[in-house]
């Protein structure tokens, strides 16, 4: 574990990180003025009140649904057509990404005015530290002339924008980037286009071909619906921040007749939805539950009454590992979750409050804990040339990359209001963990993400162990 007194001298001993960290995290006062977000972007982090690690609390919900939405009608028709209930995974996928009414499709759901706030929205320093990690991995890869930099579920584009702005002085690195955004929401794609300060340029004399570049670095930017749409053949670095937690999960419950799948059905009065148990093992029980349980020990399984399994997480991890094996590179996964079997964590958040999962589908975010142990096994089974490291706490991850030095330098050029916002943002990113070098808020409100969020990396073994996982 890293001590609070982590010094620059210790950081210099970590292979491949010293030059990047000293230039980014301990830059001159003049550079820090240019690197900071505007005062409008540095919103006080005290506005954040959501602890996504909890479960839903239906008693806090006050919304009354006056009539069935289009999504509710669609879900009911699917259940009627099937002649019975649907899996929670199918319900979750429809609620979040239905092409017409999905939660993520037509709305900006992030930030204080949305339904929840993520780490990049808390402080610019999060994206900057991820940028340090990305550059260090690029150096370990041998500084290739061209790489694919991929973000899965980029939200507003805040993380990648801060990463590019923070690394813009490293011209050799930024010139190597081909940026790929995996995003299904047209609304969020527009926000990402704006955040990256993109523009379309003609690439031929007849003006028939156009390309999109970001003004932050001049790198090319493209959007895709899925990871497999990104051209293969180039070394790839993938960032998945709070992406895995939104992938649909199956839930299983132990009953007198054995393990049954928990499913969604229309209630008897046909006005609402309800949870039911399958009368017999479903295909998901026989396939996904069995696959997950083979990675667990008997003692762990004997204590469980509920199990959550995310097949999409396993499939995505296998795809990531296959690409890293063939093309080289690595992936960084940061999310909240457990390093073992997850029992019952599915939750719904609307306007920063926990609500009933089945209430007014499409109006709230659904998410579940990430099973990091499942990610590890899924990646390692792809190839012997793949290595997985972590998870470690977000506090340890950010602290070892130099967030303490970065915040100290930013504070030298701040107004009092900006300084308070920076301190609050810093505490929320690393609080309750190993990195803080001053005491947190006086009320000691447990709002820190430092230990609740975990970081894991998947890399090609030829590149060694990336920092700070060594």
- Break the chain into its structural domains and give their ranges: 8-51+118-246+315-338+372-463, 58-111+248-308+343-364
Rounded Cα gap, residues 367 and 273, in angstroms = 18
Distance CA 73, CA 71 (A): 5
Structure tokens at 221: 């930017």
CATH of domain 8-51+118-246+315-338+372-463: 3.40.50.150
pLDDT at 202: 81
Q: Six-digit token pair at 296?
A: 């667990």
Distance CA 353, CA 114 (A): 11
d(CA 264, CA 91): 7
Low-confidence spans in the chain with pLDDT less than 50: 1-20, 22-24, 26-31, 38-66, 111-116, 436-438, 443-446
What are the E-state strand segments in 119-194?
Answer: 147-152, 177-182
Dist. CA 238–CA 276, nearest whole Å = 38
Q: How many Å apart are CA 64 and CA 253, to the nearest integer?
A: 30
Would you give the DSSP letter of residue 462? G
60: helix, strand or coil: helix
**Three-class DSSP category at 389:** strand
Task: Please state the pTM of the whole predicted model.
Answer: 0.83
**Are 181 and 222 within 8 A, CB to CB?**
yes
Identify the CA nearest to 383 among candidates 460, 279, 270, 288.
Answer: 460
Q: Could you say which DSSP state residue 359 is in?
A: S
Q: Residue 398 in contact with residue 435, Cβ under 8 Å? A: yes
H helical segments located in 359-402: 372-380, 394-401
Closest CA to 372 of 357, 354, 353, 394: 394
First to last CA, the chain: 11
3-state secondary structure of 129: helix
């Amino acid at each position: 574990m890293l001590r609070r007194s982590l010094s620059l001298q210790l950081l210099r001993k970590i292979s491949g990180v010293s030059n990047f960290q000293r230039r980014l995290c301990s830059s001159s006062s003049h550079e820090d003025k240019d690197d900071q977000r505007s005062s409008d972007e540095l919103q006080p982090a005290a506005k954040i009140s959501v602890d996504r690690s909890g479960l839903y609390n239906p008693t806090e919900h006050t919304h009354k649904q006056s009539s069935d939405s289009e999504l509710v009608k669609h879900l009911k028709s699917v259940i009627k057509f099937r002649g019975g209930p649907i899996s929670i995974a199918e319900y979750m996928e429809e609620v979040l990404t239905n092409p017409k009414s999905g939660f993520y499709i037509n709305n900006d759901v992030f930030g204080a005015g949305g339904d929840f706030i993520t780490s990049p929205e808390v402080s610019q320093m999060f994206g900057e530290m991820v940028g340090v990690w990305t550059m260090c991995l690029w150096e370990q890869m041998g500084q290739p002339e061209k790489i694919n930099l991929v973000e899965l579920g980029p939200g507003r584009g805040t993380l990648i924008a801060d990463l590019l702005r923070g690394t813009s002085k490293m011209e050799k690195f930024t010139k190597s980037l081909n940026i790929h955004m995996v995003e299904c929401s047209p609304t969020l794609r527009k926000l990402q286009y704006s955040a990256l300060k993109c523009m379309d340029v003609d690439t031929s004399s007849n003006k028939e071909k156009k390309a999109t570049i970001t003004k932050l670095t001049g790198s090319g930017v493209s959007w895709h619906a899925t990871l497999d749409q990104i051209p293969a053949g180039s070394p790839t670095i993938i960032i998945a921040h709070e992406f895995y937690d939104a992938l649909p999960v199956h839930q299983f419950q132990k009953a007198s007749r054995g393990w049954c799948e928990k499913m969604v059905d229309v209630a008897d009065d046909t006005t609402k939805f309800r949870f039911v148990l399958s009368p017999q093992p479903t295909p998901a029980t026989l396939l996904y539950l069995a696959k997950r349980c083979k990675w667990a020990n008997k003692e762990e399984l004997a204590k469980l009454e509920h199990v959550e399994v995310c097949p999409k997480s396993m499939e995505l991890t296998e795809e990531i590992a296959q690409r890293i094996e063939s093309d080289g590179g690595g992936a960084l996964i940061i999310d909240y979750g457990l390093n073992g079997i997850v029992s019952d964590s599915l939750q719904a958040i609307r306007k920063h409050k926990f609500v009933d999962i089945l209430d007014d589908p499409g109006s709230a975010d659904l998410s579940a804990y990430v099973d990091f142990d499942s990610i590890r096994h899924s990646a390692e089974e792809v190839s012997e040339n793949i290595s997985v490291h972590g998870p470690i706490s977000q506090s340890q991850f950010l602290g070892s990359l130099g967030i303490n030095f970065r915040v100290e330098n930013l504070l030298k050029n701040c107004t009092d209001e900006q300084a308070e916002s920076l301190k609050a943002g810093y505490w929320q990113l690393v609080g309750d963990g190993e990195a803080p070098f001053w005491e947190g808020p006086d009320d000691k409100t447990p709002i820190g993400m430092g230990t609740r969020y975990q970081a894991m990396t998947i890399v090609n073994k030829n590149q060694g162990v990336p920092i700070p996982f060594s």
